[in-house]
Structure 1
Amino acid sequence: MTAQTYVPSLLSRAGAVSALTIAAVGGTMLAPGATAEAHAAHAAMALRIAASKQGAPYQYGATGPHSFDCSGLTLYSYKRVGKRLPRTAQQQYNKTRHIPPSGRHRGDLVFFHYGSNVYHVGIYAGRGKIWHSPKSGAVVRLERIWTRGVWYGRVN
């Protein structure tokens, strides 16, 4: 019996079988990097969306598409790529997978904090810079991270 006839035969005998089990029996496995690759693609798209909002005015509580506060920009950018984030910077920090600075990648979230309280968030753009909506009277912009006291989070 060949692999081509064995798998369909197994399906008809087994009924509802998981795709992973069938793949393992058939001699192939799902690509182990598929999850990491999917994350990287979502992060890159979210980063591009944030960058496309350059010049949009800061407005407290705004979640786009024409004005934003800091967490509104991250929420909007990730929502556009099908990822859900809570509303505030602190809630977003609590929801993300925390990563060390050495493990940060473009598209990860950068959280500014005072003690254990997160007060600001942006999207890591690489080379020590973030896209963010900084404060009242300012606009969405690319800016160098101005302190070492930041935490990083990866959107799942």
Structure 2
Amino acid sequence: MKQQGKPSKKKYIWIVIILMLILLFILLLSNCGNKKNGTLVNCPTPSAVVEEGEIERKSVEEIKNELQTQVDKSMISMRFNATPSKDADGFYNLMIECTSKNTNNYIVEITKADTGELLWKSPMMKPNHHIKKAKLQAQLPPGIETRCKVIYHGYNPNTNDYLGFVPWQITMYS
């Protein structure tokens, strides 16, 4: 017969197991807390970096300005005559303008739309530069409308790396 007030053997075993688990947990924590050169040693590697202080946040206006700057860098602002014609001296009134809004340099080519034949190629144009008129490198048949492409090739102004191109359709008159 069991006496009241005395715990059973099973309760003692459970108490010992719980105490051992607590002791093991304390040993792990105390070992993990050792510092060597300012870093914790014998700790599991965290899956994230914990930093001191609050996260720096940007205002909506700052975010919009940063995004607009990125968009502006990738935009192209060019003007050209969509229907250039030849004058008496053999020059075409191209009226090509690389506006001051651009951040890149450009080389402009004019090709025949149907054959791709190169008719004219500009020197490198920086922002805020223009070409009013030029003679073509190849001749167009007189008195005929010719469908052409104006192709703007963009280059990084610091490295001269090629960035890509933008084509437009025009009609040239000779």
Q: Same fold (TM over 0.5)?
A: no
Q: Greater relative contact order (Cα 8 A, min sep 6): structure 1 or 2?
A: 1
Q: Which has the higher strand share?
A: 2
Which protein shows a greater Rg? 2
Q: Which has the higher helix share?
A: 1
When normalised by structure 1's length, the TM-score is: 0.26
When normalised by structure 2's length, the TM-score is: 0.25
